[in-house]
Amino acid sequence: MELKGRTALVTGSAKGLGKRTAIQLAEQGCNVVLNYYESELEAEQVRRQIEQLGVRAITVQADISSAEGAEKLASEAERWAGGVDILVNNAGPFVRERRLFSEYDDATIIRLLHGNLLGVMLLDHRLLPGMRSRRWGRIIHFGYGHAGEARAWPHRAVYAAAKTGLVSFTKSLAVEEAPFGITVNLLGPGDIRGANKERTIEEVEHEYDSESPMGRPGTGEDVARVVLFLCEPKSNFLTGNVIDVTGGFDPIRANIKGMF
**Spatial distance between the Cα atoms of 21 and 222, rounded to a whole number of angstroms:** 10
Name the pTM for this structure: 0.94
Strand order in the sheet with 86-89: 57-61, 31-36, 7-10, 86-89, 137-142, 182-189, 242-245
Question: 220 pLDDT exceeds 80?
Answer: yes
Domain extent listing, the chain:
7-257
Question: 90 pLDDT exceeds 60?
Answer: yes
The pLDDT value recorded for residue 1 is 73
The pLDDT value recorded for residue 258 is 47
- For residue range 93-133, what is the model confidence (pLDDT) as tens digits? 999 899 999 999 999 999 999 999 999 999 999 999 999 99
Best CA proximity match to 250, nearest among 171, 169, 173, 188: 188
Residue 256's pLDDT band (boundaries 50, 70, 90)?
very low
The pLDDT value recorded for residue 29 is 97
Q: Which CATH number fits domain 7-257: 3.40.50.1000, 3.40.50.720, 2.30.110.10, 3.30.420.10?
A: 3.40.50.720
Best CA proximity match to 193, nearest among 108, 115, 251: 251
Query: 6-10, 93-97, 194-198, 249-253: lowest mean pLDDT where?
Result: 249-253
Best CA proximity match to 194, nearest among 218, 163, 222, 216: 218
The pLDDT value recorded for residue 210 is 79
